[in-house]
Amino acid sequence: MTSAEVRTRFLAFFEKRGHAILPSSPLVPENDPTVLFNTAGMQPLVPYLMGRPHPQGERLANVQKCVRTGDIDDIGDNRHLTFFEMLGNWSLGNYFKAEAITWSYELLTSKTEGFGLDPKRLYVTVFAGDQENNVPRDDEAARAWESVGIPKHRIYFKDASANWWPAVKGKDTWTGPTGPCSEMFYDVTEEGLGDLTPTEYNKADDEGKVIEIWNDVFMEFEKKDGKIVGKLAKKNVDTGSGLERVAAILQNKTNIFENDVFAPIMAIATTLASDLRRQRIISDHIRTAIFLISDGVLPANTDQGYVLRRIIRRMVFNTDAKKLDRANVEALVGAVVEKLGGFYTNVADQRANIVDVIAQEAEKFAKALDQGLKEFEKLVTVGKGVDGKSVFDLYQSHGFPLELTQELARLRGIDVDVEGARNEFKKHQDLSRAGAEQKFKGGLGDTSEMSLKYHTATHLLHQALRQVLGTTVSQKGSNITPERLRFDFTHGAKMTDDEKKRVEDIVNANIQAKLPVHRVELPKAEAEKTGALHFFGDKYGDVVSVYYIGESLDGAISKEFCGGPHVENTGTLGTFKIQKEEAVSAGVRRIKAVLS
């Protein structure tokens, strides 16, 4: 079964069971400053998991694009990826554990509607309970698994570190829905492992002989700043499964890099790197870079742009030649577009731009490496080592990875203070993490008072820009924090001081007018007829949420497709001020603004 067939069969399975099929949200959360990327299918749905009615009902399913970089050092094994597609279905106060588990089992094992996997190779984990948080063992889920045919001895009870989403204990600042989970694992060995004791099962998991292919999360509780504070008004189900892992298993592969999507990418990677692990890193990172760029991210020194820059440079570094020319970039991008461009049309539409961005960044990195080599020569003399601080400085200033410094030092017969270097990197990571926690504080789906104000001010800004610069202006991205708004838009020239002043005056006039802010849900076709703005292609469902500012939808000064949330009246916003206007890329400008 091809990856495309996995995607199609999954969506058809849940559509038949009353689920509305949602399009994937962009990788960059539209109204969530608390995370850089959507890392799970549930993230765009947090407001609905917390109780808001969804315009398309209580049963939902989709295939969500995700990026996770927390496991970046594990890329190269048989199962980790930075970009992946997450298959997911949700119940918003509708069905719960019995139905979710039954359908998970049917989808995995049914030969007619599902994936036709061998049930004798399935293992299941459930939550073992947590006395500290007064949460009992999940015997309900265990009984549900037994009822569908999973033998009792293949059901393993695990603590919160494995079977609670997100974990109850540890340094967890999560704010939002939470609950116990039940995970499904599949035996990928050729000979078959058979029945396993808990100890044997844990060993098989550590060795990658059993692979997680599904996770059912039963959201009953609410967390604030990492602590359970009570139960949700409704019990919800959130499930997830990595499409790439499922496809590999169905194609009788022992690792994801041999499935039908990765095979043509790996074929090119083998010409660029002689080491298997590096080939896999290149294959993984090119997909991540392509999908980030297609969703509007560009290489930069901060936030999402920094991650993209690191991904591209890490990919280039893992080639044997430590460089990637345009022809190879075109070949790699082409291999990804060929397999995924039919479903993710924005990737196919932006193919030329994606090649340009990656090729230009690869060239910049090659120049940085040249400069780094000169700095390296200044640092070393034969017989003397390279200290940890110098290793880190080479990385920080010139993008020189630790591995490259080690490689060059080895050729010179000198030592590298690896432990000291790692300590320097750790200090930098700790500082970065502390800054990120402060910057992205508030948990998933920030709905603080100032964030609501900035959401509404963004709509006023968008409309003012169209009044001053013309209706060719369209949104290319936005990022809201409690401290400021950032808005990217199409425009071919730098804004003049007069244009910026006129935009500010329009926004402030609409604030002073104390206009009401309304939300309505409409069929997509009807919403489009109202003239409501929307610029993110097919990410919207059949029923959409429209926010409008003014007394009526027809006479509104601003109306846009938007998930919200917003203030109830513009009079609460204060005074709007543009801090900075700058170029992001060819034809795209960025405004940063504050309210006071």
CB 549 within 8 A of CB 558: yes
Residues 6+ away with beta carbon under 8 Å from 509: none
What tokens appear for 242 in the block? 């990595």
What is the chain's Cα-based Rg? 25
| Tens-digit pLDDT profile for residues 393-406 | 888 777 777 777 88
Alpha-carbon gap, residue 311 to 298, rounded angstroms: 12
Dist CA 19 CA 541 (whole Å): 12
Contact 133, 228 (CB under 8 A): yes
Decide: helix, strand or coil at residue 349: helix
Instruction: Return d(Cα 263, Cα 564) in angstroms, integer.
Output: 41
Is residue 24 domain-resident?
A: yes
Q: H-helix or E-strand containing 232?
A: strand 227-242
How many CB atoms within 10 Å of residue 459? 26
Residue 108 to residue 213: CA distance in whole angstroms = 9
Name, of 141-150, 303-312, 540-549, the range with top average pLDDT: 141-150
The segment with the largest mean pLDDT, out of 70-74, 334-338, 413-417, 433-437, is: 334-338
Burial of 419 (0-12, 13-18, 19+ CB in 10 A): exposed
Domain count, the chain: 4
**Confidence (pLDDT) at 439:** 42
Residue pair 218/97 in contact (Cβ under 8 Å)? The answer is yes
d(CA 511, CA 477): 23
Whether 416 and 500 share a structural domain: no
CA atoms of 338 and 334, how far apart (whole Å): 6
Q: 26: exposed, middle or buried (C-beta count within 10 Å: 0-12, 13-18, 19+)?
A: buried
Q: Per-residue pLDDT averaged across 406-433, rounded?
A: 78
For residues 454 and 402, state if they share a domain: no
Q: Are 476 and 576 in contact (CB under 8 A)?
A: no
Q: Determine the residue type at 197.
A: T
Report the alpha-carbon distance of residue 82 to residue 542 in Å, rounded: 30
Assigned token pair, 93: 């106060």
Helix axes 97-109, 139-148, angle to 10 degrees: 40
Helix axes 418-439 and 402-412, enclosed angle (nearest 10): 170
Name the token pair of 272: 């660029």
| 464 and 559 both lie in a single domain | yes
Reading the block at residue 365, the tokens are 């990195």
Asked if 164 contacts 127 with a C-beta cutoff of 8 angstroms, the reply is yes
pLDDT value at residue 381: 63
Domain harbouring 511, CATH code:
3.30.980.10
User: Does 342 share its domain with 301?
Assistant: yes
Q: What is the DSSP string of 296-329?
A: T----SSHHHHHHHHHHHHHHHTSTTS---HHHH
Angstrom distance (rounded) from CA 576 to CA 595: 5
Please give the model's pTM, rounded to 2 decimal places.
0.76
Tokens of 576: 């709007």
Is the same domain home to 302 and 384? no
In a domain, 254, yes or no: no
In a domain, 340, yes or no: yes
pLDDT of 84 over the 50 cut: yes
Alpha-carbon distance of 245 to 587, in angstroms, equals 39
Residue 588 phi/psi, 5° resolution?
-125, 130
Q: Cα angle at 583 between 292 and 36, to 5 degrees?
A: 30
**What size, in residues, is the chain?**
596
Q: What is the CATH number of the domain that holds 241?
A: 3.30.930.10
Please tell me the predicted confidence (pLDDT) of residue 169: 47
Residues facing residue 593 across a β-bridge? 485, 578
Task: Using the predicted structure, report yes or no on whether residue 261 has a pLDDT greater than 70.
Answer: yes
Label the pairing between strands 155-158 and 122-127: parallel
**Nearest-10 crossing angle of helices 388-398, 418-439:** 50
Q: How confident is the model at residue 445 (pLDDT cuts 50, 70, 90)?
A: low
CA distance 461 to 499: 12
Rounded to whole angstroms, the Cα distance separating 558 from 463 reads 6
**Residue among 10, 137, 130, 143 nearest 64 (CA):** 10
Q: Which of 249, 271, 286 is the last residue of a domain?
A: 249
Q: 375 lies in a domain?
A: no
Assess whether 294 and 230 both reside in one domain.
no
Look at residue 554 and tell me whether its pLDDT is greater than 90.
no
pLDDT for 49: 85
Q: Examine the domain organization and report whether 162 and 97 are in the same domain.
A: yes
pLDDT at res. 464? 96
Distance (Å, rounded) from C-alpha 232 to C-alpha 219? 8
CB 465 within 8 A of CB 500: no
Are 292 and 236 found together in one domain? no
Measured at the CA of 313, the angle between CA 394 and CA 418, to 5 degrees, comes to 40
- Mean pLDDT score across all residues of the chain: 88
Report which of residues 158 and 540 the model is more confident about. Answer: 158
Answer with the one of 389, 410, 441 that is the final residue of a domain: 441
Q: What are phi and psi of 178, to 5 degrees?
A: -155, 165
**Residue at 373 is within a domain:** no
Say what the pLDDT of residue 438 is: 44
Same domain, 278 and 158: no
- Are 143 and 43 contained in the same domain? yes
Q: Omega of the bond prior to 166 within 30 degrees of 0, cis?
A: yes
Burial of 197 (0-12, 13-18, 19+ CB in 10 A): exposed
pLDDT at 432: 54
CA atoms of 552 and 568, how far apart (whole Å): 14
Per-residue pLDDT, 382: 54
Among 409, 75, 427, which residue's Cα sits nearest to residue 255? 75
pLDDT value at 74 more than 90: no
Domain boundary, last residue among 368, 392, 417: 368
Instruction: Give residue 31's pLDDT band: very low, low, confident or very high (50, 70, 90).
Output: low
Residue 25 in any domain: the answer is yes
Are 59 and 17 in contact, with CB atoms under 8 Å apart? Answer: yes
Which residue range is the domain that position 582 belongs to? 449-595
Q: Residue 123 falls within a domain, yes or no?
A: yes
Please check whether residues 220 and 93 belong to one and the same domain. yes
**Whether 363 and 422 share a structural domain:** no
Q: Give the integer Cα–Cα distance in Å for 101 and 116.
A: 16
Q: Of the candidates 161, 57, 143, 41, which has an alpha carbon nearest to the alpha carbon of residue 101?
A: 143
Question: Is residue 357, in this structure, part of any structural domain at all?
Answer: yes
Q: How far apart are CA 461 and CA 487, in angstroms?
A: 9
What confidence score (pLDDT) does residue 306 get? 84
